[in-house]
Amino acid sequence: MKNRFTATALIASAAAAALLLTGCVAGENQPAAEAAASTDDAGIVTHGGTLNIDFATYNPLSLVIKEKGWLEDALADQDITVNWVQSAGSNKANEALRANAIDVGSTAGSAALLARSNDSPIQVIDIYSQPEWAALVVPEGSDITSVEDLKGKQIAATQGTDPYFFLLQSLEEAGLSLDDVTVQNLQHADGWAALQNGSVDAWAGLDPIMAGAEAAGAELAYRNVDFNSYGFLNATESFIAEKPDVAQTVVDVYEHARAWALANEEETAQILADVAGLDLAVATKVITERSNLGVDNVPGDAQIDVLTTIGPIFVETGDVLNQGKVDDALDTIVNDTFATKADPTIVE
């Protein structure tokens, strides 16, 4: 995946890294544009309380930030406690956001759109990656070598996550539908376990678990980078409205972490390996080949283009009531206020 980085993204990331290394300083149902304006004018400085934010092995930047304690340092003067909550998948992050158990959570773009289409009051405030993190996985030596071979088979997938939507897109491309297969709704790690014990024929996998599965002998029966959506950092609308200064700090720290991770791939891989329980070689593959941390961080047309393609699938499968709800979500899911103003030099 590394050779798929755009020149623009690489140049922007390199510039941010250079700044860091040289020490240079440079409301619910409310439309995104209006929300952006209100946060610009709020002049809010939050004191006290807790920031509830997730970390996830599919979001390497979250692991780096947690390991380094940069958020804690950035919010210390405001006496804000940082509470880290692990997300096992995009579906779990969305559940926590909807329940207000976290203020900021990381998901795939497809999962964020699904949640927003079903009235979850969230917006994407930063893009953390453009990964190739999903593929269709089969056991070593399987006679399944194409998507067409999945007809009549048992497939493990985590509904509401990118691998699940990867599966749906793959079936559609092959002229198949959900009626042609049996999907077992299992969390990502459980899906890999089911593939190992033979209770499913295939698994819609997610990195870094998928990379570990490859190292253990599993095979990727089908890959398509275009069926992977971006990594979204989402926040609840109430958090954005009430604590815009904290939201800005989160994005600033994320952009510092991006520049640091691009300049320190080996240590980033080691952090991922430690948290996910992976061999360093496997974690290195995830970071250097399949994560694309050098993507433009500002959410906008690139993400909407991908989600516009995925959105109708939600309606076809009955996951969203109608296309109108998807269209409304597409119109309101992006809040680029914080990413546009991001200052990666916030961390000294």
pLDDT tens across 226-253, in order? 898 999 999 999 999 999 999 999 999 9
Specify the pLDDT at position 20. Answer: 41
Instruction: Please tell me the predicted confidence (pLDDT) of residue 104.
Output: 98
Return the closest-CA partner of residue 209 out of 199, 225, 196, 228: 196
Residue with tokens 């970071």: 287
Mean pLDDT of the chain: 89
Q: How far apart are CA 19 and CA 24, in angstroms?
A: 5
**Cα–Cα dist 5/94, whole Å:** 28
CA distance 42 to 247: 13
CA distances from 200 to 150, 158, 165, 206, 223 (A): 11, 13, 18, 16, 19
Strand-by-strand arrangement of the 231-236 sheet = 81-86, 50-55, 104-108, 231-236, 122-129
**Taking the model in full, what pTM does it have?**
0.82
Model pLDDT, residue 43: 81
pLDDT at 42: 53
Over the stretch 146-199, which tens digit does the pLDDT of each residue have?
Answer: 999 999 999 999 998 899 999 999 999 999 999 999 999 999 999 999 999 999
Q: Which of 67, 124, 72, 66 is nearest to 94 (CA)?
A: 124
Residue 251 · residue 131 · CB < 8 Å? no
Q: What angle do CA 112, 235, 54 make, to 5 degrees?
A: 90
**pLDDT of 2 above 70:** no
Q: How many CB atoms lie within 10 A of CB 99?
A: 10
| Element at 10 (helix H, strand E) | helix 7-22
What are 31-35's contacts with CB under 8 Å, separation 24+?
31/331, 31/332, 32/123, 32/331, 32/332, 32/333, 32/334, 32/335, 32/336, 35/123, 35/237, 35/240, 35/241, 35/335, 35/337
pLDDT in tens, 100-155: 999 999 999 999 999 999 999 999 999 999 999 999 999 999 999 999 999 999 99
The H or E element spanning position 322 is none
Q: Cα separation of 299 and 233, whole Å?
A: 10
pLDDT of 8 strictly over 60: no
Say which DSSP state 56 is in.
B
Q: CB of 9 within 8 A of CB of 1? A: no
Beta strands 50-55 and 81-86: pairing type? parallel
Predicted confidence (pLDDT) at residue 83 exceeds the cutoff of 50: yes
Buried b / exposed e along 22-51 (16+ C-beta atoms within 10 A):
eeeeeeeebebeebbeebeeeeeebeeeeb
- Is the previous residue joined to 208 through a cis bond, with omega within 30 degrees of 0? yes
Least confident of 7-11, 50-54, 232-236: 7-11
